[in-house]
A = this chain, B = another copy of it.
Amino acid sequence: MKNVISAVCVKCGHEIEAKPDITTCPKCGGIMDIKYDYNYIKNTVTKADMADRRENSMWRYQEFLPIEGNSKSPKLRVGWSPFYEAKQLAEVIGVKELYIKDDGINPTASLKDRASAMAVVKAEEAGRDTIACSSTGNAASSLAGNAAAAGFKTYIFVPSRAPKGKVSQLMIFGATVVSVDGSYEDTFRLSAEAIDRWGWYNRNAAINPYLMEGKKTVALEIAEQLNWKMTDYVAVSVGDGCTIAGVWKGFKDLYAAGFIDRLPRLLSVQAEGCCPLNKAIAEGKDWEPMEENTIADSIAVGVPRNADKALNAIRESNGVVVNVSDEEILSAMKLVGRTCGVFSEPAGATGSAGIKKAVDLGLIPHDASIVAISSGNGLKDTVNAIKAAGEPILLPPDMGALLDAFKKIGGPQ
């Protein structure tokens, strides 16, 4: 990898060779970060080169990614997801410029496909045939799908609260699925023990530094889709911390390589019922474990495994933090659906919910430009969608019944 210098521990600074199966720091146990040679990148690729590329997936950014030149292409088409200007939503929220990055349009319907596609490439480079992870759901389903397409075996640990939609994906993709009757933390611990015991390739994003490199491609795409003119803010829903850290890494890489001339501020949005990272930022102290009380299962992480990187990212970006209630999340699901035609799962709409709240609270000015990342498809959790949007009018096949029903709701007569 000519573009990669090494892997560096974010805690103690220890530097090691970026082999495909590195995990945490061998010295202090801290999380590693991939270090690039930005001069090499600058001299190898330009914005004009990028504009000429036909590869409509995350792999269009090969110079920014830690992959060997001879690695096999992944099988599923991940990334290059739609990016919409959301004028109607901007108006409702009262902000000048608003964009939605719809990452629910990925092979397994979430942003996590970016990390899992990377995991499959690195597992192949490492010569493994089995990949494992623990996940609140999306990391798992994305691993199961991407691994199935590439012929890998998978062991997946999910907390038993994971929504049916996500679990059904795992089963269809042929993963061995262990549903753990406990918290995400319990699930994570059991998976770590099993991975140690059987030597599987580790797709836990807070352990394996390459996964964040996959996730960062969402930021690379946002910047390119904005024609390299960054917005003032980028809103990210935050659970484990890996996604917001990945987003930040992406923008920093582009800045260092001269592709963008300013960095956005991050808006870190957590659920009120589970916001250890935002709490740490707001109170200016270390994070502490919290319970996991929110319908937004994908970000219900009481013990964030990537706290260091996430807190660094928010602080470095001079970020804003805001917590939203479950009701605000449900209401954002409906609002984004009605105004943009984008159906987000609860955690996917949390970013938009946070923008609304931050604008209402005056944390973000009305003349700001913002991107909201919708990190997962609403079809993953239809129970909460029905909760957000209600049930249809049920009637017999009869015009009289229709007229009666329309009279009640103020419909046409």
Contacts and interface: CB of A to CB of B under 8 A. Distances in A.
A189 interface: yes
A77 to B, nearest CB: 4
A411 to B, nearest CB: 6
Given A76-B341, A189-B397, A398-B190, A389 B82 contact: no
Given A172-B385, A378-B172, A389-B172, A394 B193 contact: no
A110 B180 CA distance: 33
A242 to B, nearest CB: 22
Given A76-B82, A386-B164, A412-B198, A338 B173 contact: yes
Contact of A337 (B148, B167, B176): B148
Interface string A320-347: 0000000000000110011111110000
B385 A169 contact: yes
Interface stretch (A16-24, A100-108, A310-318): A100-108
Chain A interface size, under 10 / 10 to 19 / 20 to 34 / 35 or more: 35 or more
A280 interface: no
Given A56-B56, A107-B102, A343-B145, A337 B396 contact: no
Contacts of A396: 180-182
Copy total for this chain: 2
A11 B102 CA distance: 43
A260 to B, nearest CB: 21
Contacts of A160: 394
Given A107-B82, A379-B380, A397 B182 contact: yes
Contact of A181 (B102, B388, B397): B397
A194 B337 contact: no
Contacts of A377: 109, 379
Nearest to A174: B338
Contacts of A342: 107, 145, 149
A347 to B, nearest CB: 15
A379 B165 contact: yes
Interface in A28-87: 56, 75-77, 80, 82, 84
A169 B377 CA distance: 10
A346 B178 CA distance: 25
A151 interface: yes
Given A146-B341, A338-B173, A178 B385 contact: no
Nearest to A170: B392
A202 to B, nearest CB: 15
A361 interface: no
Contacts of A382: 164-165, 168, 382
Contacts of A358: none
Interface string A103-132: 001111100000000000000000000000
A377 B396 CA distance: 29
9 contacts: A77-B84, A172-B337, A172-B378, A172-B388, A173-B338, A174-B338, A178-B395, A181-B396, A193-B399
Given A168-B382, A169-B343, 7 more contacts: A75-B341, A148-B338, A169-B379, A169-B385, A171-B386, A178-B402, A382-B382
